[in-house]
Amino acid sequence: MHPIFNSPLRFSGLILVWLLLATGISWVMSQAGDLPFNDSFILFAPPYFLSLIFILPVYYVCRGLPLNETSTLMLVASHGLTLLVILSLWSMLGTSYSSWLAGVTDSERWSVYYGSTSLLNYGLIGLQLSLLVLLHYLYFALDKARQLEKEALHQKLLVSQAELQTLRATAHPHFLFNSLNTLANVTLKDADKAHRLCHLLADFLRYSVAYNKQETVTLRDELEHIQNYLGIERERFGERLHTEFCTEDDVLDVELPPLILFPVVENAIKHGIDSLIEGGTVTITARKNGANLLIKVSNPVDELGQKARGTGHGLASLEQRLKNRYGERARIQREKAQGSFAVSLYLPIERPDSMKSTEAKESHLA
């Protein structure tokens, strides 16, 4: 089916435009043939309006002859043959209609008027067909561009999901190995502590499963997940690990991709706290920074320790995920100072739809 019929509004618009076109051609014919406009409108408007039935099917001819897959000779021959068929059908329609008018009014002037303007009519029909052919090819080109853009976005989403699955697959086994070793040691010494550690581990894993297929979560959810992770790591590091959270309340409902903080905090533990005999403090800050959400994770490092160097793979994967999700609107900034290292995430602020609606209502009432 022609796409124009998929929308009643577009179809109505086409009818209106074609009616205006038929009226305009009737005026041209009245000037060219020295006819009264009323007579010209009666004679030419109906055939030109009905010519839409002959011309619209050119859509299927254009669809069957893509520009990039069809030779020039084939295009010219096919559309030339289509023009001849349409001209023949329109000529039969016009001749029959003018003869009918002559019979009804008992006047041969209709047939004479029609015959005297035949060449001009054929030229106008050819012009209409050429214009519609160009419009159809333009439509196919735009439609193909939209499809390619849609496929590109779909591929980007698949890449992001694959990267997220890779993150889960690489982070969790390593983390679980350390956690289970810690749990095994704690079980022998303190049953209550082991029970609490099991709950923290269960909550940590539950988050990963629950948000497995969600595109976004809130910063509040991410911070709770990080709290569970840090709670488990405290059992492993003891007094060597301290944490500090500095978050503004008005950013807790900002949406961001799931598991966005885990690789940053894990990096701070693995290449920061674990490299220091005395340990240190991991500080997590979240606040507004203009139109962005700024999340900063800082930790001490051992300047001479080999672990402080790391591979940077986790942060590089995170940077790619952010680029796929936000494009150039998000960025990661690394800051290296004497004895410390910090990673800052700049993310566009996005809030849940429900909150947006509430804020809109409040603004309207104000």
| Cα–Cα separations (whole angstroms), residue 12 to 35, 142, 194 | 30, 22, 72
- In degrees, rounded to 5, the angle at the alpha carbon of residue 41 between the alpha carbons of residues 37 and 47 is 150
Residue 18 sits in the same domain as residue 143: yes
Asked whether residue 188 carries a pLDDT value surpassing 80, the answer given is no
Q: Do 19 and 62 form a contact (C-beta atoms < 8 A)?
A: no
Residue 37 sits in the same domain as residue 101: yes
pLDDT for 174 equals: 64
Q: Which residue has the higher pLDDT, 178 or 358?
A: 178
pLDDT for 160 equals: 61
Q: Which domain holds residue 255?
A: 190-365
In-domain check, residue 326: yes
| Cα–Cα separations (whole angstroms), residue 142 to 3, 149, 274 | 13, 11, 55
Residue 89 sits in the same domain as residue 217: no
Tokens of 277: 């005999």
Residue 144 sits in the same domain as residue 202: no
DSSP state of 273: G
Number of independent structural domains in the chain: 2
Residue 138 sits in the same domain as residue 195: no
Which of 57, 60, 61, 62 lies closest to 138, judged by CA?
A: 62
Residue 144 sits in the same domain as residue 206: no
Residue 359 sits in the same domain as residue 233: yes
* Local confidence band at 283 (pLDDT 50, 70, 90 cut-offs): very high
Amino acid at 265: V
Instruction: Give me the CATH number covering residue 339.
Output: 3.30.565.10
Residue 231 sits in the same domain as residue 328: yes
Residue 237 CA to residue 230 CA, distance in Å, equals: 10
Asked whether residue 358 carries a pLDDT value surpassing 80, the answer given is no
In-domain check, residue 25: yes
Mean pLDDT (the chain) is 80
Residue 214 sits in the same domain as residue 332: yes
In-domain check, residue 309: yes
Query: Residues 115-158: pLDDT tens digits?
Result: 888 888 888 888 888 888 898 889 888 888 888 888 777 776 66
In-domain check, residue 138: yes
Residue 144 sits in the same domain as residue 197: no
